Amino acid sequence: MLKKLLFSTGAMSLLVPTLAFAADDKTPAQLAAAIDSVWVMLGAILVIFMQAGFALLEAGSTRMKNAGHVAGKTILTFGLCAIAFWAVGFGLAFGDGNAFVGTGGFFLDGTAEQTAASISVFAGSPIPISILFLFQLAFAGVSLAIAWGGFAERGKLPVYFIFGILFTVLIYPVVAHWVWGGGWLGELGMQDFAGSTVVHLQGATAALVATILLKPRIGKYNKDKTPNLIPGHNQVLSVLGVIILWIGWFGFNAGSTLSATGDGFFGYVALTTNLAAAAGAVAAMVISWMYFGKADIPSMLNGVLAALVAITAACAFVTPRDAIIIGAISGIITFFTAQWFEKMGVDDPIYAFSVHGIAGIWGTLSTGIFATPELAQSVGVGGAGLLYGGGFHQLGIQALGVFGAFLFVLVLSFIILGILKATIGLRVTEEEEIIGLDLSEHGSYGYPEQMKKAAQVSTTSA
């Protein structure tokens, strides 16, 4: 044992000078670039891992007969998104072009030459364009995952292929360019640090359109239009999904600093993000307790997500105290809007528009209220909010951005999904919906043993 220890110590003594020499070969700027590149790559991994959170959340929030389909389509659609965003979407979002859309940088090859020639918004970054692409792809994938909430338990599989590609190349990149790619909203100084509008409102608006065009699930409403509760089959899966999403959000928001060096601002962004989520959880649980007379766990989960959605725009612009206020308000308004939409006949199985749409709107507007002049100057985007001496100027820009993005996505989604409904159809047949999408679309259940037992019990009872 002593011989092994002495050998290891000797080996390390030879290796350490080599490592030190290698580090000495790098300039401080090169080391900073390497650290920042690893940080952004880690952020991309965290955001891509949010797909697992969406899979668990949506599968747990829907019925067992659809669980395999709901979880499996997450991988399918992220694969479609990755290819479409590489080929076209990234160039439309971040390529050089005009105030409306990018017109270069298609079929990304990862070279500095293509970046300098066609993607000047990233040309000065020390982080390789391939890493920046993966980071932005992760955001596009999240927006598309949100959109699928409106299709849950009744959407046709071919629609996922067609709309997934078209959303990635015609809808998402345009608004991304407006705000982040050198477009007109970015020039006005719209504050959307990590995408309350760009990512969440876009996906939620497409989900709302799908929900309206698909119409409610069988059995959701009675003849007098009163809604019936269709509970998800596994609340534990939903809780695990939200925990994964909460963790992934640190890549979402803190990763959007695109730097782990310097003053460590990513830590501040992580702080405001976490405080908002915590406030959303508590506020939603308390308000559901007051409303239902029982503390509702799904409402609490929605409160967490709504707060995270809202703070996504504001995380770099507001104080920790204001982050708590933003998060708490998000949890409350999402709870009440979810109840309202359901009573109005909108069958949104995972409350996608309430959680990601309403909270996305509130979060984007909140920067126009709570942004401090010091943080706005530090980030270099926009100015102070209403409560910090900025008047209504920044709030007006935020409202314009919300309205423009919502209207654009609403119209295009209605056109695309309307055409699909008139041609191939959006919804499975009544028989397929009753037996479940696992069996009708894929030929096997996500829970074959349990579903087999349920069928045997049903047959015996009959």
Are 208 and 411 spatial neighbours (Cβ–Cβ below 8 Å)?
no
The tens digit of pLDDT for each residue in 239-262 reads 999 999 999 999 999 999 999 998
Given this model, what pLDDT does residue 16 score?
46
Q: How far apart are CA 207 and CA 409, in angstroms?
A: 10
Residue 145: per-residue pLDDT:
97
For 424, the 3-state DSSP assignment is coil
* pLDDT value of residue 144: 98
Read off the pLDDT of each residue in 52-68 and give the average, rounded to a whole number.
Answer: 96
- Over residues 102-144, the pLDDT tens digits come to 999 999 999 999 999 999 999 989 999 999 999 999 999 999 9
User: What Å distances lie between residue 68 and 142, 229, 286, CA to CA?
Assistant: 19, 21, 33
Instruction: Inform me whether the pLDDT recorded for 265 exceeds 70.
Output: yes
Q: Which two tokens stand for residue 61?
A: 């929030």
Question: Could you tell me if 78 and 279 are in contact, meaning their C-beta atoms sit under 8 angstroms apart?
Answer: no
DSSP codes of every residue in 209-276: HHHHHH-PPTTSB-TTS-B-----S-HHHHHHHHHHHHHHHHHHHGGGG--SSTT-HHHHHHHHHHHH
Please give the structure tokens belonging to residue 37.
């590149």
* pLDDT at 153 (0 to 100): 94
* pLDDT tens per residue, range 326-345: 999 999 999 999 999 999 99
Q: What is the pLDDT of residues 42-59, one digit of tens each?
A: 999 999 999 999 999 999
Query: What would the pLDDT profile of 182-234 be if each residue is shown by its tens digit?
Result: 999 999 999 999 999 999 999 999 999 999 999 999 999 999 999 999 999 99
Please, which pLDDT band fits residue 354 given cuts at 50, 70 and 90? Answer: very high
